[in-house]
Chain A
Amino acid sequence: MTILRRTVLAASALPLLRAGALAQSGRTYRVGLVSIGPPESGILSPGMIQNFAKRGYVEGRNIEFERRAAQGKPERLAGFIDELVAKPVDVIVTSSYPAAAAAKERGGKIPIVVINSGDPVATGLAASLAHPGGNVTGVSEIATELSAKRLALLKEAVPSVKAVAVLWNADDFGMTLRYQAAEVEAKRAAMLIVPLGVHAPDDFDTAFSEMTKQPPDAILMVTDILTILNRKRVIDFAREHRLPAIYEYARLVRDGGLMSYGPDEAGIADRAAGLVDRILKGANPADLPLELPSRFQLAVNLQTAKTLDLAIPESILVRADDVVE
Chain B
Amino acid sequence: MSAPDAPLANRPRRPLFQKYLAALFIAVVVPLLANGISEAWFGYRDQRVMLGHRLRSEAQSAAGKIQGFLDDITDQLRWTVQLPWREGTDEQHRFDVLRLMSQAPAVVDVVLIDGSGHERLHVSRVNPDIVNSGADHSQDPAVIGARASRLWYGPVTLYGGSEPHLTIAVAGPRAANGVTLAVINLKLIWDVISSIHVGQSGDAFVLDSAGRLVAHPDISLVLRGDDDPAAARLKDLQQAMTAAGEETTEGVNAEHRPVIAAMAPIPGPGWAAFVEEPATEAFAPIRAALWRTGLLLLLGAVFAAGLGYLLARRMVGPIRLLGQGAERIGAGRFDQKIEIATGDELQDLAHRFNEMAVELALSQERSERIARLKRFLAPQVAELVEGSDQERLLDSHRAEVVVIFCDLRGFTSFAGRAGAEEVMGLVQEYYEALGGIITRYEATLTCFMGDGLMLLLNAPVPCPAPALRGVQMAVEMQAAMQSVVSSWRGRGHEIGFAKGPATVGRIGYEGRSDYTAIGNVVNLASRICAAAADGQILIDQAAAAEIGDAYPLTPLGTRPLRGFAEAVPVFSVAASSPAGAVLHAAL
Whether both chains belong to one complex is answered with: yes
Write the residues of chain A forming the contact surface with B, with a CB cutoff of 8 angstroms.
1-4, 6-7, 10, 13-14, 121, 128-131, 142, 145-146, 148-149, 151-152, 156, 185, 188-189, 278, 283, 287-292, 294-296, 314-315, 318-321
Check A287/B191 contact, CB under 8 A, given A129-B160, A294-B185, A296-B125: no
Q: Are A149 and B219 in contact (CB under 8 A)?
A: no
A-B contacts, 9 listed (Cβ < 8 Å): A1-B103, A128-B161, A128-B162, A130-B223, A130-B228, A188-B128, A289-B220, A292-B162, A319-B98
B159-198 interface code vs A (CB 8 A; 1 in, 0 out): 1111100000000000000000000010110010011000
Please measure, in the bound complex, the distance between the C-alpha atom of A292 and the C-alpha atom of B159, giving whole angstroms. Answer: 10
Q: Are B162 and A145 in contact (CB under 8 A)?
A: no
Name the B residues within 8 Å of A278 (CB-CB).
Answer: 220
Check A3/B188 contact, CB under 8 A, given A131-B224, A149-B127, A189-B128: yes
User: Does B126 reach chain A (CB closer than 8 Å)?
Assistant: yes
Q: Are A10 and B195 in contact (CB under 8 A)?
A: yes
Check A151/B102 contact, CB under 8 A, given A129-B161, A318-B95: no
User: Does B104 reach chain A (CB closer than 8 Å)?
Assistant: yes
User: Does B94 reach chain A (CB closer than 8 Å)?
Assistant: yes
CB distance from A274 to the nearest CB of B (A): 8
- Nearest A-chain residue to B72, judged by Cβ: A3
Q: Are A149 and B126 in contact (CB under 8 A)?
A: yes
Name the A residues within 8 Å of B158 (CB-CB).
Answer: 130
Name the B residues within 8 Å of A142 (CB-CB).
Answer: 126
User: Does B99 reach chain A (CB closer than 8 Å)?
Assistant: yes
Please measure, in the bound complex, the distance between the C-alpha atom of A141 and the C-alpha atom of B103, giving whole angstroms. Answer: 23
CB distance from A6 to the nearest CB of B (A): 5
Name the B residues within 8 Å of A292 (CB-CB).
Answer: 159-160, 162-163
Name the B residues within 8 Å of A10 (CB-CB).
Answer: 191, 194-195
Give the residues from 213 to 228 in chain B that come closer than 8 angstroms, CB to CB, to chain A. 219-220, 223-225, 228
Tell me which of B94, B158, B194, B223 has the highest count of chain A C-beta atoms within 10 A of its own C-beta.
Answer: B223
CB distance from A313 to the nearest CB of B (A): 11
User: Does B105 reach chain A (CB closer than 8 Å)?
Assistant: yes
User: Does B40 reach chain A (CB closer than 8 Å)?
Assistant: no
Q: Are B220 and A288 in contact (CB under 8 A)?
A: yes
Please measure, in the bound complex, the distance between the C-alpha atom of A69 and the C-alpha atom of B264, giving whole angstroms. Answer: 51
Q: Are A145 and B127 in contact (CB under 8 A)?
A: yes
User: Does B532 reach chain A (CB closer than 8 Å)?
Assistant: no
Please measure, in the bound complex, the distance between the C-alpha atom of A269 and the C-alpha atom of B63, giving whole angstroms. Answer: 31
CB distance from B230 to the nearest CB of A (A): 9
Please measure, in the bound complex, the distance between the C-alpha atom of A149 and the C-alpha atom of B228, giving whole angstroms. Answer: 34
Please measure, in the bound complex, the distance between the C-alpha atom of A188 and the C-alpha atom of B161, giving whole angstroms. Answer: 30
User: Does B432 reach chain A (CB closer than 8 Å)?
Assistant: no
CB distance from A149 to the nearest CB of B (A): 5
CB distance from A7 to the nearest CB of B (A): 5
Known pairs A130-B225, A130-B228 / 20 extra A-B pairs, C-beta < 8 Å: A1-B103, A3-B105, A3-B191, A4-B105, A6-B195, A13-B195, A129-B161, A146-B126, A148-B127, A151-B128, A189-B128, A287-B220, A289-B220, A290-B162, A291-B223, A292-B159, A314-B95, A315-B98, A318-B102, A320-B102
B247-266 interface code vs A (CB 8 A; 1 in, 0 out): 00000000000000000000
User: Does B81 reach chain A (CB closer than 8 Å)?
Assistant: no
Please measure, in the bound complex, the distance between the C-alpha atom of A315 and the C-alpha atom of B96, giving whole angstroms. Answer: 10
CB distance from B228 to the nearest CB of A (A): 8
Q: Are A319 and B101 in contact (CB under 8 A)?
A: yes
CB distance from A23 to the nearest CB of B (A): 17
Name the B residues within 8 Å of A6 (CB-CB).
Answer: 191, 195
B110-143 interface code vs A (CB 8 A; 1 in, 0 out): 0000000000000011111100000000000000
Name the B residues within 8 Å of A131 (CB-CB).
Answer: 224-225
Tell me which of B129, B188, B219, B220 has the highest count of chain A C-beta atoms within 10 A of its own C-beta.
Answer: B220
User: Does B106 reach chain A (CB closer than 8 Å)?
Assistant: yes
Q: Are B162 and A7 in contact (CB under 8 A)?
A: no
Name the B residues within 8 Å of A2 (CB-CB).
Answer: 103
Check A289/B126 contact, CB under 8 A, given A10-B194, A318-B99: no
Please measure, in the bound complex, the distance between the C-alpha atom of A189 and the C-alpha atom of B127, giving whole angstroms. Answer: 13
Name the A residues within 8 Å of B104 (CB-CB).
Answer: 3
Name the B residues within 8 Å of A151 (CB-CB).
Answer: 128
Please measure, in the bound complex, the distance between the C-alpha atom of A147 and the C-alpha atom of B127, giving whole angstroms. Answer: 9
Name the A residues within 8 Å of B99 (CB-CB).
Answer: 318
Name the B residues within 8 Å of A145 (CB-CB).
Answer: 126-127
CB distance from B399 to the nearest CB of A (A): 116
Q: Are B95 and A315 in contact (CB under 8 A)?
A: yes
Select A152's contact among B98, B103, B129, B163, beta carbons within 8 Å: B129
CB distance from A190 to the nearest CB of B (A): 13
Please measure, in the bound complex, the distance between the C-alpha atom of A321 and the C-alpha atom of B105, giving whole angstroms. Answer: 10
CB distance from B22 to the nearest CB of A (A): 52
Check A294/B188 contact, CB under 8 A, given A130-B161, A130-B224, A148-B128: yes
CB distance from A111 to the nearest CB of B (A): 14
Please measure, in the bound complex, the distance between the C-alpha atom of A79 and the C-alpha atom of B507, giving whole angstroms. Answer: 138
Name the B residues within 8 Å of A129 (CB-CB).
Answer: 160-163, 223
Please measure, in the bound complex, the distance between the C-alpha atom of A149 and the C-alpha atom of B220, giving whole angstroms. Answer: 29
Q: Are B128 and A185 in contact (CB under 8 A)?
A: yes
Select A289's contact among B103, B194, B223, beta carbons within 8 Å: B223
Please measure, in the bound complex, the distance between the C-alpha atom of A320 and the C-alpha atom of B298, giving whole angstroms. Answer: 70
B452-473 interface code vs A (CB 8 A; 1 in, 0 out): 0000000000000000000000
Check A14/B194 contact, CB under 8 A, given A145-B127, A319-B101: yes
